[in-house]
Amino acid sequence: MAVNEEFTGNLIQKLEELFDVSLKLTVPDEPSVDPMITVGKFGDYQCDNTMKPWSKLKGKSTTTQFTNSLAIGQAIVTNLPTSEMVESCSVTGPGYINVVLSTKWIAKSIESMLINGIHTWAPTLSVKRAVVDFSSPNIAKKMHVGHLRSTIIGDTIARMLEYSKVEVLRRNHVGDWGTQFGMIIEYLFEEFPDSDSVPRHQLKIFSCFTDNQMQNVKRIQTLRKRHKRLWSVFRVEILFTARFGLRFEKPAEKNVPRFINAFKSSLKKRLQDPSDACKDRWWCFTYDTTDMAALWYRLNEEKAEWIIYVTDAGQQEHFARFFKVARNAGWLPENDKTYPRASNVTFGVVNGEDGKRFRGRGKEAVSLTDLLDEAKTRSKAALIERGKVKEWTPKKLDQTAEAVGYGAVKYADLKNNRSTSYVFNFDKMLDDKGDTAVYLLYAYARICSVIEKSGKDMDELKKIGKLALDHAEERALGLHLIRFAETVNVGHIFGGPNPPLMTRPIRSLKPNIY
Ligand code: ARG
C-alpha cells in the first residue's frame, strides 16, 4: 500500500496509514484492529495498538509467537515501513509506541507551506455546506458580555470551516424577539394610531407593556403587513453592528407558518397522537418553535448538512430537547454523529475578579459596546504612553488602538478552553509581556522590522530551500503549524460530551424564553 508522505495533510492520518501497513503484517489474523494514533506524552505521537491484539492473542498461546504486549509493540515497530516522516520509534511500558517525527521532514513541510500557501494544508471535511448560528443576542435586549464568547468562538468555527472549503452560512438567529416587540408595537399603535403613514425613520422605540402584546407577537409571526413593517424597522435598528469585522447573512427564519405545516405532517407520521403532544404550542411561537422553524428552513431551503449552534452551556437542555423533537419528526437522523447533523457547541461563563458573572462596574451586565470601547481606550492610552502620538497620524493611532484592543479581548477568550469559565481582566489581556494578543502583535512588528533591516528579499529566500528548524522552540512551532488539519478534525473541535437526551415526553415541555 502506498503511504502518503506528501508535505501536506493530516499527520495523524498519515501515521495511521503507516501503522496500518505494519499491523497487517504483525497481526494478520486480527483484521479488525485499526491503528490508534494520539498525540504522545513521550514522543510527538503515540500508537496504542498493542493491548487489543494481545488480549485476543494471549488465550491462543500455541498459535502466537508473542509472549506479551510489549513484544507485539516491538514487532509493530520492526514492521513499520520506512518513512521520511518518522525519525524514530520506541516502545515503553506494556507496549506503548512513542513516535518521534523527523525534524527535517517538519522543516520541509513548513517550507512547502511557505511556498505553496497555507491553504494547501487545509483539512478535507465531508460536509459541503454548514450553518453556524452564533452571537445571536436577544435583539430586544442589549448585547452583553455573555454574547462575547458566542461571537468569538462562532466566528472562529466559521473561519475554520471556510478555510476547510465548507460553504458557511453565518447566522445571527433572531428567533427570540416576540414578547418584547409585541409590547413595543402595542404601545406604538396606541401612541400613533396612524403609524402606517409615519415614515420609517421617525418611528422611535419606547418601552411599554400591555395585555395585547401576545396578540401582536402572533401577528408579526404570521406576517401581518402592518405589524411586519414596524418589526422590520426595529430589527434593523437594534441588530448589533459587529465590531470584530464579522459578517452575517440575512436571517433566514422567515415564514414560520410554512414550517408548522411541514412539522405537523412530519409528526403525524411519527407520533401516535400529534394533536395531544403539540396542541398547546401553535397559538404563539416560543423560543422552541422559532428554533424549529429555523431548523426546517436551514435543512430544507438552505440545504445545510451541518447546523452548529454556539451558545453558553446553560442552553444545552433547550437544544437537546429541540434536536430530539427534530429527530422524532424525522428531520434529523437518529444517530447524532451522522449528517444532516445539528450540534450545540457550548462554552463556559465569563467571570469577574470576584468569581461571579462579569458585570462591569455597575450591577447590570456590561454591554459589549462599552466593553470594546474600554479595550480600545486602554490600548490607546498605552500607545500614547509609548510616544506614538508624535510618530503616527491620529488615524493610524486610532486604527492601531482598535486592532490591539479588540484583538486583546478576542485572544484572551480564545486562549481559554472552550468549556471552562474564565476571569475577565483588562490589565492581563492588555499586558505587553504576557500570553496576549498585544505581545504577539509586538513580536510580529519586531519580526517585520528585522526582515526590513536585513534588506533580504523573502521570495528569493524561500526559493533557496534551506529552511532549518535548529532550535527546539522552532521545531515545536513548526510542528504546531502543520498540526492544524488534524486539530480541525471534527472530533477535536466538537468533541466532549454530547448533550443529554431528552427523557421527558414531549407534551411536558415548557417553553423557554431567553
Ligand atoms: N438569543 C439567545 C440568547 O441571547 C441565543 C440564540 C441562540 N440561537 C438559537 N438558534 N437559539 O441567549
Nearest to 406 by CA among 200, 148, 159, 79: 148
List CB contacts of 179: < 8 A, sequence separation 6 or more: 140, 213, 214, 217, 513
Question: For residue 217, how far is its CA from the centre of ligand 1 (angstroms)?
Answer: 18
Could you tell me if 346 and 316 are in contact, meaning their C-beta atoms sit under 8 angstroms apart? yes
Does position 19 have pLDDT exceeding 80, yes or no?
yes
Task: Give 309's strand partners.
Answer: 133, 344
Tell me, in angstroms, the distance from the centre of ligand 1 to residue 136's CA: 5
Write down the pLDDT at residue 505: 29
pTM: 0.76
Q: Where are the beta strands (DSSP E) in 165-273?
A: 167-171
Cα separation of 106 and 112, whole Å?
10
Locate 351 and state its grid cell. 467571570
Please work out whether the CB of residue 146 comes within 6 Å of at least one atom of ligand 1.
no
Residues 395, 397, 399, 403: what is their CA dihedral angle, to the nearest 10 degrees? Answer: 180
Residue positions counted in the chain: 514
Place of cell 505521537: 45
Nearest-CA residue for ligand 1 atom 8 is 173
Ligand 1 midpoint to CA 175 (Å): 7
- For 15, the grid coordinates are 501515521
Kindly state if the Cβ of 514 falls inside 6 Å of ligand 1.
yes
Cα(160) to centroid of ligand 1, in Å? 22
How far does residue 170's CA lie from ligand 1's centre (Å)?
Answer: 14
CB distance 112 to ligand 1 below 6 Å: no
pLDDT at site 268? 62
List Cβ neighbours of 453 (8 Å cut-off, separation of 6 or more).
Answer: none
For residue 253 and ligand 1, the question of a CB distance below 6 A is answered with no
- For residue 210, is pLDDT > 50? no
According to the model, what pLDDT value does residue 507 have? 30
- The answer to which of 20-34, 131-145, 247-261 has the lowest mean pLDDT is 247-261
What are the helix and strand counts (H, E) for the chain?
Answer: 21, 10
Residue 256 has pLDDT above 50, yes or no: yes
pLDDT at 300 over 60: yes
Minimum CA distance residue for ligand 1 atom 5: 136
CA 153 – ligand 1 centroid, Å = 14
- Specify the fold of 11-101: Gyrase A; domain 2 (3.30.1360)
Partners of 88 in the beta sheet? 100
pLDDT at res. 335: 85
Per-residue pLDDT, averaged over 55-72, amounts to: 74
What is the pLDDT at residue 182?
Answer: 64
Give CA angle at 478 (476, 483), nearest 5°.
Answer: 95
User: Do 306 and 131 form a contact (C-beta atoms < 8 A)?
Assistant: yes
129-174+236-351 has which fold? Rossmann fold (3.40.50)
Average pLDDT of the residues in 59-81: 82
Q: What is the ipTM of this complex?
A: 0.98
Q: Which residue has the cell 528579499?
A: 457
Cβ neighbours of 375 (radius 10 Å): 24
Nearest CA to ligand 1 atom 7: 136
Radius of gyration of the chain (CA): 28
Which pLDDT score, from 0 to 100, does residue 27 have? 86
Output the pLDDT for position 408: 94
Residue 138 Cα to ligand 1 middle (Å): 7
CA of 424 to the centre of ligand 1 (A): 22
Q: How far is the CA of 132 from the centre of ligand 1 (A)?
A: 12
Q: Which atom of ligand 1 is nearest to the CA of 309?
A: 8
Tell me if 309 CB under 6 Å of ligand 1. yes
Is residue 279 scored above 60 in pLDDT? no
Report residue 410's pLDDT band, with 50, 70 and 90 as the boundaries.
Answer: very high
The residues spanned by each domain of the chain are 11-101, 129-174+236-351, 179-228
Ligand 1 atom nearest the C-alpha of 174 is 1
Task: Determine whether the shortest distance from the Cβ of 286 to ligand 1 is under 6 A.
Answer: no
Atom number of ligand 1 nearest to Cα 291: 10
Cα distances (Å, whole numbers) of residue 286 to 173, 178, 315 = 14, 8, 14
Mean pLDDT of 295-313: 91
Q: What is the pLDDT of residue 248?
A: 56
- Residue 465 alpha carbon to ligand 1 centre in Å: 50
| Residue 205 β-bridge partners | none
Q: Judge whether residue 154 has pLDDT over 70.
A: yes
Atom of ligand 1 nearest to the CA of 147: 4
Nearest to 444 by CA among 402, 391, 502, 403: 403
